[in-house]
Every structure is written in structure tokens, then in C-alpha cells.
Chains A and B, each alone.
Chain A
Amino acid sequence: MKVAILGSGTWGRALATLVAEAGHRPHIGYRGRPPGGFPGSPNLSGLVRDADLVLVAVHAGAVREVIRSAKPGPREQVVIATRGLESGESGWLSDIVTAESACVQVGALAGPAIAAEIMKRQPSAQIVASEFDAVCQRTQEALHSASCRVYTSSDLRGVELAGACVAVYAVIMGLADAMGQGVSVRGVVITRSLAEAGRLGAALGAQASTFAGLAGVGDLVAAGSHPEHPGYAAGAALARNEPVPDTLAAEVGALLTLSQRHGVDMPILQALAAIIAGKLRPRLAIDMLMRREAKQTER
């Protein structure tokens, strides 16, 4: 199977490694310098037309431009392997594919798979979600190997949302660790942040089990523990008052917009947005969250 991977960054190369491990042929679509170690092409549309599966591995803000260049057609199967939302009206990265091209067979990939660990051939697991069984099956075939287990789901919205939430909650994990908070805080952040993500998911018709699985708990435990994960690293930078990537504020903002549109309260996300905007000091944020009114049930 020929798998086109759009994006030659660390994550794109990690995916190419997984494809090769599974016995298939990765081809990386790139801009600028060719990626080392894998065949590639700057001609995205040619690459896509010739591939059995397309994995998109650029950051959320670049997905639209890449899809416009690649122009996947009705026959192509495109899986968003990037976590996040695009700021704007719809936000869903899989919707960008259908809105910008004739392709409708789309999916999303998430789960505990850290690029640095994949490159070291350490075990990982992922979940691919799509309305189309064929997309799930082909992605599983393309990535499943002795070093990576791949599960399938029909909960596209749930997996996309869980992935987008994990990407930003990992920032809080990095922030808390850098501030010297204990393991109890880690436990609280993991459960309470996924609880609020699950509430938003429920409002969007996503399945609760998605947030308790690989795309939710699994991914957050991994992403929120690994110093090389971009979210975790950004959290540590925030604690040190260092600059964070510009895209982070946009990703948090997109999630907040979505939560407001559906009337879902997400206090942890709101606190993170305020910290990134420089309106709230991290220690004060923790204090505020802890002083919230006591609740009878854990929802």
C-alpha cells in the first residue's frame, strides 16, 4: 500500500516510520527541503492521486492550505493525523477536507503515540475514527504493526474533539509539573479536564467512551508526561514565563468558541486561555479552580 503523508515535520516522519514498520510504502509530501530517509514529493496533488491512503500531518492552522494544494478527489481516503481545531466557524479539521475538496471519505487519528518514542521503535497505540468503515480498515492496515496497535471507531467527532482537547490539556500538565505540583494535581487535571471535554463531547453527540479510551485518557497520560510533546513543552515554558507558539492561543480559542456555542462550561480551558493571554498567573489559576464551589457528584 502506498501511503501519502502530507507534512515532513517530526510527526510526519514518525507516521512514515509506522507505515514502513507495517510493511507499506510511505511517501512524504513536503514544502521546502525534502525529508531525509523517506521518498517524498513537493507535488501534493500528484502524490495524493497516486496513494491508497492520505495522512495529514501538518499543524491545524495549515490543514486548509494543504488540502487546497493536494486536491484529494472522490476516490481518495484522507485521515487527519493532527490534533486540534481550526479557529473559525466550523473548526473541525475533517470538515475542511470535505469543504475544500471533492473527497468525502475522511477520518481522524489520535491516541498515545509520541513522535520521539515512535522514532525509537517504542510501542504505541492509536485510534482511527471515520463514518466510513473502509477508511478505518485501510488506516488500521497501514499503521498496525508489532510496534503500534491501531483500533477503530465510528465516533469521528469524539476522536477529533478528544485529540484537540488533549493537545491543550497537555499544556496544563506541563505547566503543573514545571510549577512543582504533586502527582495528585496530575490526577486531578487528567480526570477533571477530560470530564469537561466529555461534557462538550456529549453536547456534540460524541460517545463518552471515546474520552475514557485511547483518544482521551490514553493520549493525555502520554502527552502530559513527555517532555518532548509540544503541548507539555509549551506548558513548561509558560511556567517559566517564556514565549509559547502563537498557534497555542488559537487552538485554545477555537475550543472555547465551540464550548460557548454549545453552552458548555469549561473552567480549566478558560483558565488556560487567561494564562496564555497573560491575564492570570498560573498559581492564581490553580487557586481559583480549587476554590470553585463544592459539587455533590463528579460529572
Chain B
Amino acid sequence: MSGIVSPSTADIASALKQRATMRLRALSDDALHAYLADALYQERRRVERGKAEDDGQPAYIALLDEAARAIRADRGRMQRAVLALVGHYVAEIHNRFSERTYNFATRFLPGALTRLLTAAQPTQLLGADFDPASRLMVQGPLEQLRALSQNHTLLIAPTHLSNLDSPLIGYGLYAANLPPCIYGAGLNLFTNPAMSFFMSRLGAYTVDRRKSHGLYKDTLKDYSVESFRRGAHSLFFPGGTRSRSGLIETKLKKGLLGTPIQAWQENLAAGKKDGEILVVPCTLTFALVLEAETLIEDALAEAGKSRYIITDDEFSEARTVASFARRVLSLDASTYIRFGAPLDLLGNPVDAEGRSRGPDGEPIDRTEYVTDRDGNVIRDDQRDRVYTARLASAIAAAYKKDNIALSTHVAGFVTWELLKAQWPRLDTFQLAVLRPEERRLERAAVLAGIDRAIAGIRRRAEAGEIREALPEGGAEGLLEDALFRFSGYHKRTALRQLGEELEVGPRLSLYYGNRLRGYGLEKEILA
């Protein structure tokens, strides 16, 4: 049966070194030299610039020094230096899952979410004061997923908006009686001692996104492959980082997403019957997003490329996190975790028994995608990359379909579109820096736009193109709900009432409204 597997660091290091050895064998002397040199150059630069404080321990420096000597020596020494670095990275990445901690944390999470994120010591976490079931809506084909999780390995692939996503999904899995998952968490999330204590025991493995060289990335991928092979349910965000703009992810990263197909084929080749892996797209929808202000700033500044990791956003401010957690958890149904219909690794839907279904609904033998007529597994990395791209498209399509329109999204969308219409010659950036008196809209015009947006969203929801959880009371009810939710949380104005006018915070309205891009609603908003 699949579940969390918790091998010792020595065990996993041994397995990953074996994988690395296989990879190194395929490299020429020059390629091996370049592989090690790239890792060494990048790590040395980080250490010299003082940006590797957590890696600056003497043992790691000694490994880099040995790598520097090995690079001028023979092949054997270069290989040993690579394997030594792999061993170091595995020790950094791997954390042992603790069932005891998991049971404890899930019992009190998210009632103790505020404390979890802010407590100085783990002991402060005792106590529960929220009823999570009424705050976080967990939806989807849960019964089917529970059944499938018994004899399949699941990859949970969520959208990514906030650093709170991982613990929330962790809770969502618990609430849905689904098994826990291992998941990659940025090194910056381990800086809070309480967070680190729990994350390392809740299945989180450490990902240092500052290490961008091939050796580290290969080790991470190998870790993922090895975990899938051993039947560990996994969670990773195929979008890579948090969506800066608030848009639903349409282009997903293929690196880690390609690891389950490798593990699956290895299991097939080894004759492992219970090695089937299924993918569960998961859409997270928040009425409010903790880091909204920083993220949209970043998107507008176009500085939010993957190489730039925000370390000082709202998440690093304990008070802001606590305020957010209180706010989110005190508002009914403001956060949705929707597990989508499970897919096979080619992006085909699967039925209740986990069998793949073709476009005509007929069952298909998915092993035929990777085997010849005699049932032998045919390895083809190029083919697998295309398969992974297909899977990525299927996940992105599921995100779009399972996205849930909320009042804050509609209010943001409509007010941004009306601002755009009011200032037709201004581009996005110019709109974002309008002065307060320039970004006012007549309430009546906003209500009319919301009315049309509601109609458009409900029409699309009936066609299965999107989901909605809009409040009752038509445009008036929706606007009131959005104003209530926006009020008091963000430092900047998102939307506020000024007599018969509304003052729009363009950046936040853009951010929240972006959740509704891609459905062709724009033209329907304006009269």
C-alpha cells in the first residue's frame, strides 16, 4: 500500500548515489568535468558572496575544496567528489516523516494555524480553538481518491498562491481522510523554528532554490523519482513558485513533473504491480491572499522571475501571518481546496478503479504508452518529455475548470476592467499607479458590471468551464461581501466605499481579478 515512506538518510543517500553513478557513467570525461565545474563555480560564488550562510559549515566548504582539487585530477576522483556532494545534498533535502507528529499536528491544525506559524517553540502549539470544517472547504471526488490512494501512489499537483498553501493542503488531505504526502518546501520556510520542527516531520523535504546547478537539480529529481518508486504520495506545485500576478497557472514546469513517469517505468520494468502513479490536480482558491500586495508588486516590476526568491514578503512577518490566519479562519467558506478528477501520467482521466480512459470513454492499457508488444519497457527520454508536456496541459486545463469564482475575484475583475475603460490610453503599469482621486468609479457602474460578470460566470459554470461560490443577493450582495472581506486586512486599499463612489486599489484589484482571466469575460463587463 502506498503512503508516506520514511527511509533513513543513509538508505536514501545510498539509492541516490547509485542513480548519480549511473548518470555519471553516461558522461564523457569532458562532460563530467563540466558538470562538476558548474556546481563548484556556482557554489563557490554563493559562499564567497556570503549568501550561503546555511551552507557555510566547514564540512560543506571542505567538500567544495575537494571538488576543486578533483576537477584537476582523474575521472575517478571527480566521480567521488560528485558523489560526496550528492550525499551532502541528500542529507539537506531529506527529512524523516513522523507519524506521531503528523497525527498531532493534523488534530490541531488549522485551529492552531496561527500558533503553528508564529510560535517560538513547538510546545506553544497545544490548544485548539477553531472548527476547521466550517472554514476550509475541501471538495472534489474525495471518495474516489480515498479508494485510489489505497493501491496507487498519488501526486497532488496544486495551484500555488501563498506560502500557506502547503500546510493548508496538508490539512485538506487530513480533513478528506486522504493520506499525507511528502512535499518540497523552500529552505526559507524552515527559518521559523516551530515551522521547521513540524514541516520536517510532516513530510516536507527541503528545497534550496538558490542552488540552480545541474548536480543539485538532478539530486532533487532523483529524490522525487526514488520517493515515487517507493510509493510515497507526493505533492509539488507544478507552477514552480507562487503565481505573482494572481493568474491561474497555464504554463507548468516540466522538471519535477517528469519524475513520476520515470518512476512508473522503473516499477514496470521491475515487475512491481503496485507501482501505478496517478495525478490529482488541486485548485486552491482564496478570497484573500496573504502575500497579495508583495506578489503583484513583484509581477508589475517584472522582477518575479524564478531566479528571484522573495524572502521578506508578508509571510516573514509573524504578525501579518497571524492577522491573516485569524481573518481567513473567521470568515466562512473563504478558502477552497478542490481536488480534481485524477489523471494518469499521460493526462488521461481514470475511472473509479484507476483504469485509464480514452477519449471515447473506453478503458485503455496505459502501459502500452511505454512498452513494446512483448511488454518490455522502452525507455525514451524525448518521448517522456512530450508525455510530460501533455500531462502539464491536462493539469492546467483542470485548474481552469476547477477554479472557483469568489466575490473578491469578481469585484477585482470588474473594477480593473472599468478603470481600464475609464483610462483607455494608459497601460497596466500606469493604471497601477493612479492617484486616489483618479481611481474612483461610480458605484452604479460597478454594480452594473458585476451584474454582467455574475451572468457570464454562471453561464460558464453551467457549461463546466469554471466553478463559482458567489454570495446571494446579486450584484449588491456580491459587492458588500467583497468590501467586507477586503476591509482591514491589506495595508493598501483593495476597494472601499466613498459615498456613491468606490475607490479602487488598482494593484490589488488587478491581482484578485486576474483569477478570472482566460474565460473571455472582459468584453461582457462593459455595457
Contacts and interface: CB of A to CB of B under 8 A. Distances in A.
A75 B390 CA distance: 16
Contacts of A131: 386, 389
Given A73-B364, A134-B382, A104 B359 contact: no
A75 B360 contact: no
Interface string A119-143: 0000000000001111000000000
B368 A75 contact: yes
Interface in B382-401: 382-383, 386-387, 389-390
B380 interface: yes
B365 interface: yes
A75 B387 contact: no
A74 B365 contact: yes
Contacts of B358: 101-102
A100 interface: yes
A interface majority secondary structure: loop
B359 A101 contact: yes
8 contacts: A99-B359, A101-B358, A102-B348, A104-B346, A105-B383, A132-B382, A133-B380, A133-B383
B213 interface: no
Contacts of B360: 100-101
B41 interface: no
B97 to A, nearest CB: 35
B364 A74 contact: yes
Contacts of B348: 102
Contact of B382 (A75, A99, A104, A133): A133
Contact of A102 (B364, B373, B387): B364
Contacts of B373: 75
By size class, the interface of chain B is 20 to 34
A224 B382 CA distance: 37
Interface string A91-106: 0000000111110110
A132 B366 CA distance: 18
Contact of A74 (B368, B380, B386): B368
B371 interface: yes
A101 B356 CA distance: 13
B369 A75 contact: yes
B interface majority secondary structure: mixed
Contacts of B387: 104
- Interface pairs A-B: 5 shortest CB-CB: A74-B368, A102-B358, A74-B369, A75-B368, A102-B364
B382 A74 contact: no
A134 B359 contact: no
A105 B369 CA distance: 9
A132 B386 CA distance: 7
A73 B362 CA distance: 11
Interface in B325-381: 346, 348, 356, 358-360, 364-366, 368-369, 371-373, 380
A74 B365 CA distance: 8
Contacts of A98: 359
Contacts of A99: 359
B383 A132 contact: yes
Given A98-B359, A133-B382, 20 more contacts: A73-B364, A73-B365, A74-B365, A74-B366, A74-B368, A74-B369, A75-B371, A99-B359, A100-B360, A101-B360, A102-B364, A104-B346, A104-B386, A104-B390, A131-B389, A132-B382, A132-B383, A132-B386, A133-B383, A134-B380
Contacts of B366: 74
A295 to B, nearest CB: 28
Contacts of A100: 359-360
Interface in A172-231: none
Contacts of B382: 132-134
A74 B382 CA distance: 16
Contacts of A133: 380, 382-383
A270 B42 CA distance: 56
A99 B360 CA distance: 9
A105 B359 CA distance: 15
Contacts of B390: 104
Nearest to B358: A102
A139 to B, nearest CB: 15
Contacts of A134: 380, 382-383
